[in-house]
Amino acid sequence: MNRKEFIKKSMISLGISPFLFSSNPFGSLHASEEEESITLPSKVKSVIFIEMMGGMSHVDTLDPKPNSAFGKVSSSISGLSVLEPFSLTAKQLHSIGIIRSTWSEEGDHGFAQMLLGTGYRMTEAMGFPDIPHFGAVIAYAKKSKVKSSYFPSYVTIGGRGGKNGNSGFLGIDYSGYHVGNVDEPIQHLNPSYGKFAEDRILRRKDLVSFMNEEFSKTYPTKESKHWKNMLVAAEEFRNSKNIDSFRISLEDEKTRARYGTTWQGKAMLLAKRLAAQEVPFIHISIGGWDTHTGNKAQVTKNMKETDMGIASLLEDLNNTGLIKQTLFVLTSEFGRTPDVGSRDGRDHHPKVWSTLLGGGPFTKGFVLGETDETGSKPVNPKEALHVRDLIATIYQAAGVNPDGSLTNSFGRPFLLTTKKAKVYEGLF
């Protein structure tokens, strides 16, 4: 048994989850040896990023057109209509805004999701391996501002877990802590091998601490220091008074009912609780949007499970004032074709789609861009917002300098956004 496996088994016996060995979320614990300032003044504490994975059909959700599969509904933004699947969210749009001109060149899921996660196209990333997700960058920038020193700075909910929360060269200190089960988001807090006496647990902790000290003396490396710190982080997190932020069961029955009983609704409720705890980046991934067939039925199903939760989240962020310090983003890797195929399907369409954006310094109730009569492309190129521009704009609103840089694993400067990226100042 190697040392890593030994410590892992020891942690389990102490009642500490081994999730730390694949993704350590405690960004505030380990500062980089190079403290690189990438921050800007901002009142924003948290970002809630909702990713509709697969490519959400804009013409069936947020951008009504004659060939839309659903009817129009009025929104709380004067003169703005959306589609029936967003009927509840429509009533809360006055607290945020909408972009109807998001676009990119990427029509492949993998390439488009990389662009949405990093602001870099695959071709632009050549020679720069391990680019961090922009959520990890925000977590890194805000690591010293988290209320609890031993608390996740980046949380992913649903979707592909660690793949969505990739921290790249920033290291696993800034990887997303993944919540797969919203009903039981924090697991393995109690001893796994039955109920141990407290003194027995303490003796085991002392043994692990002793082995760490001896190993560190013999091998004084960054890795040995890292393992030692992980044990400290895990124990502090287990005993944190803020850990109840993960427990949506503590909400009253009326509140839970407003968000709904689906995992998507519960994910929105969890996001609200984590934003109240000022977790820097909360990433919710909702799949099921790759509607090459059965588009209308799938959109209906997706939003029946999601609309209530999004609407309740926006309502609560606005009513509690959290909207002033929380960014809200809902987008997809691309849109879908206005034309419907023979099997009631829409294909990938990166030329334009819609994004919901608001909170923090953003103007409430804004509408940016419009599409042509079919929803095929933006009408005004000057109002078209490339994905890289969207990320740069989010960075600036969140208090991260989009023109800043970090030193990558090869000791080279890495720009947070490409030189082509521009902040859309008109949204502030």
| pLDDT cut 90: percent of the chain above it | 64
Which tokens in the block code for residue 211? 């082995």
pLDDT in tens, 154-190: 999 998 654 556 888 888 778 888 998 999 888 766 6
> Is 335 within 8 Å of 75 (Cβ atoms)?
no
Three-class SS state of 167: coil
CA–CA distance, 416 with 137 (Å, rounded to integer) = 8
* DSSP per-residue letters across 329-397: EEEES-EE-SS--TTS---EETT-EEEEEESTTSPTT-EE--B-TTSSSBS-GGG-EEHHHHHHHHHHH
pLDDT in tens, 33-90: 333 589 999 999 999 999 999 999 999 999 999 999 999 999 999 999 999 999 999 9
Q: What is the largest CA-CA distance in the chain?
A: 72
> Is 222 within 8 Å of 234 (Cβ atoms)?
no
Which tokens in the block code for residue 295? 């588009």
Chain centroid offset of residue 104 CA:
20
End-to-end CA, the chain: 56
> Is 271 within 8 Å of 327 (Cβ atoms)?
no
Residue 209: what pLDDT? 77
C-alpha distances out from residue 2 to 26, 192, 213, 217, 304, Å: 25, 21, 17, 18, 49
124-162 burial: b if 16+ Cβ within 10 Å, else e? bbeebeebbbbbbbbbbbbbeebebebbbbbbbbbbebb
C-alpha distances out from residue 41 to 65, 399, 401, Å: 40, 6, 9
CA–CA distance, 275 with 278 (Å, rounded to integer) = 5
CA–CA distance, 107 with 72 (Å, rounded to integer) = 27
CA–CA distance, 350 with 37 (Å, rounded to integer) = 34
pLDDT in tens, 319-357: 999 999 999 999 999 999 999 988 999 999 999 999 999
pLDDT band at 23 (very low <50, low <70, confident <90, very high): very low
CA–CA distance, 333 with 212 (Å, rounded to integer) = 44
Residue 242: what pLDDT? 84
Residue 36: what pLDDT? 54
pLDDT in tens, 360-377: 999 999 999 999 999 999
Three-class SS state of 314: helix
> Is 72 within 8 Å of 306 (Cβ atoms)?
no
By C-alpha distance, which of 167, 144, 147, 145 is closest to 155? 167
> Is 365 within 8 Å of 298 (Cβ atoms)?
no
Q: What are the φ and ψ backbone dihedral angles of 400, each rounded to 5 degrees?
A: -115, 130
In the chain, the domains with their CATH numbers are 1-30+189-244 (no CATH), 32-185+247-427 (3.40.720)
Rounded (5°) CA angle 175-307-396 = 45
Q: What are the φ and ψ backbone dihedral angles of 353, each rounded to 5 degrees?
A: -160, 180
CA–CA distance, 409 with 403 (Å, rounded to integer) = 19
CA–CA distance, 381 with 341 (Å, rounded to integer) = 28
> Is 371 within 8 Å of 380 (Cβ atoms)?
no
pLDDT band at 13 (very low <50, low <70, confident <90, very high): very low
Question: HEC string of 160-211?
Answer: CHHHCCCCHHHCHHHCCEEECCCCCCCCCCCCCCCCCCHHHHHHHHHHHHHH
> Is 266 within 8 Å of 284 (Cβ atoms)?
no
Which run of H or of E encompasses 119?
Answer: none
Lowest mean pLDDT among 52-56, 221-225, 415-419: 221-225
